[in-house]
Amino acid sequence: MLSFPRSFEFVPGQVIGIAMDPADKPRLYSIASGNCENVVRILYTVKPEGKLTPDLARLHAGDTIYVSEPFGGFVCDEQEAVWIGTGTGIAPFSSMFYSGLAKNKTLIQGNRYASGLYFSEDFEKEMGQRYVPSCTREKVDGIFYGRVLKYLSEKKDLDTSLKYYLCGSAEMVVDVRDLLIERGVPFENVVAEIFF
């Protein structure tokens, strides 16, 4: 996780561009922190072949990075809805959560291992039964074993009247969107964010 002092306003769900040098092409990351916090937090996974994350992993307190204005329209209102995020795709939802938008939401979080279920303690504490963690590579008590797609496909009482917000890999987003549409959720109620 990368954090730095907040110097701008943003809407939970928005992204920022980050670069190590003004001449570099910025990479986009969803903000993971709340819009009233003093710091901005970013989740990232180090990819050895990546153009930015190896450098981010080497940063020390006090080092300089370049950050764009926040932008993007993956935002949600106060209506009841379901959030589905896998891996670092949890970031926009954690931002919404820490901005006070979780009151009538259900959050389904997926990751390979339980150690990568970022912010799960906070989610569980505040959301209780409305928080569903899942892992694909290890069996842990209290955590659904399998993909979020499996969880949803096994869910008998899927509410098709709600809005579903998805963020994660292209494969997860497309598979879950197809499933929701197949189960009767109108496609205009499936709001998808992608990583690229």
Catalog residues that contact other proteins under the rule CB under 8 A. 15, 25-26, 28, 71-74, 169-171, 173-175, 177-178, 181-182, 186-188, 190-196
Of 21 and 63, nearer to other proteins (C-beta) is: 21
Task: Kindly give the interhelix angle for 120-127 and 91-98, rounded to the nearest 10 degrees.
Answer: 50
Residues 6+ apart with CB under 8 A from 80: 104, 105, 162
* Shortest reach from residue 165's CB to other proteins, in Å: 10
Contact 135, 52 (CB under 8 A): no
Contact 74, 150 (CB under 8 A): no
Of 40 and 131, nearer to other proteins (C-beta) is: 40
Of 19 and 65, nearer to other proteins (C-beta) is: 19
Residues 6+ apart with CB under 8 A from 45: 53, 87, 88
Of 114 and 179, nearer to other proteins (C-beta) is: 179
* Shortest reach from residue 110's CB to other proteins, in Å: 15
* Shortest reach from residue 173's CB to other proteins, in Å: 5
Longest dimension (CA), the chain: 52
* Shortest reach from residue 32's CB to other proteins, in Å: 16
* Shortest reach from residue 147's CB to other proteins, in Å: 13
Of 39 and 194, nearer to other proteins (C-beta) is: 194
The 10 Å Cβ neighbour count of residue 166 is: 26
